[in-house]
Amino acid sequence: MKKGLLITLIITLIVSAGFFFSFTGANNREVKLRKQTEAQQDVCKSNFDKMFKTIAKMAQVPTKFMEDAKNAFKEIYPELISGRYDNSRGGALMSWISENNPQFDMKSASVLYENLQIAIESNQQEFFYEQEKLIDYKREHSTFINMWWNSHVWKLSSRGDVEITTITSDKTEDIYKTGKDNDLKVF
């Protein structure tokens, strides 16, 4: 009798330990997935802020470039005009032949705009990648808590899905509501 009771007790302890470790493992995994998703939400928020600030600051560069060029032109041009019509170079009639008026470097302005376009595209791609990870983390968490054993035995689904915010636009939301995208105008 003592031997049977001891075997029953050992089996009960082993089964209980198995259930305990199974629940602890499932619980810890749910917490890990939830925290990973919440942290990725913060990464997306920071990335969006970085993207916005980078683009906003870069967009100010062409404006500053044009202001500086305009101010430089205002300082130089009056001296050029006054020197044109005196007799130091043989008179106004002969000066027009050898004049070389200052030129604005539009190539530099073009490069500034090109760099801005590249920054916009690369920052948006990076932000998309971070949001894609966020959505995948939510999927992984939701799948885990809703699997049969975790949902019915451990009741992890009662904790609910992790709430996330994805960034989109009114245009995208309207297209998904109607199921149609008829706006083909680029400009």
| Residue 15 is assigned to a structural domain of this protein | no
Helix (H, G, I), strand (E, B) or coil at 90: coil
| Residue 157 is assigned to a structural domain of this protein | yes
| Residue 128 is assigned to a structural domain of this protein | yes
pLDDT of residue 161: 96
| Residue 17 is assigned to a structural domain of this protein | no
The tally of domains found in the chain comes to 1
pLDDT of residue 61: 80
| Residue 160 is assigned to a structural domain of this protein | yes
How long a stretch of residues is the chain? 187
| Residue 66 is assigned to a structural domain of this protein | yes
Closest CA to 37 of 176, 173, 159: 159
Backbone dihedral angles phi then psi of residue 180, each to the nearest 5 degrees? -135, 145
pLDDT of residue 72: 76
In the chain (187 residues long), the average pLDDT of successive 10-residue segments reads 89 95 95 97 96 89 78 73 58 52 67 89 96 97 96 94 95 92 80
Q: Could you tell me the CA-to-CA distances from 168 to 37, 109, 150, 176 in Å, in that order? A: 19, 31, 33, 11
C-alpha R_g of the chain: 34
What pTM did the predictor assign?
A: 0.74
Closest CA to 47 of 116, 129, 121: 129
| Residue 71 is assigned to a structural domain of this protein | yes
Q: What is the mean pLDDT of the chain?
A: 86
Residue 34 corresponds to which tokens in the numbers above? 């939830």
Whether 47 contacts 127, CB under 8 Å: yes
Q: Which residues of 12-29 are buried (b: 16+ CB within 10 A; e: fewer)?
A: eeeeeeeeeeeeeebeeb
pLDDT of residue 105: 64
List the alpha helices (DSSP H) in 85-105: 92-98
Q: Could you tell me the CA-to-CA distances from 159 to 65, 137, 153 in Å, in that order? A: 55, 16, 13
Q: Could you tell me the CA-to-CA distances from 20 to 5, 8, 32, 36, 150 in Å, in that order? A: 22, 18, 18, 24, 13
| Residue 2 is assigned to a structural domain of this protein | no
| Host domain of residue 40 | 34-87+94-165
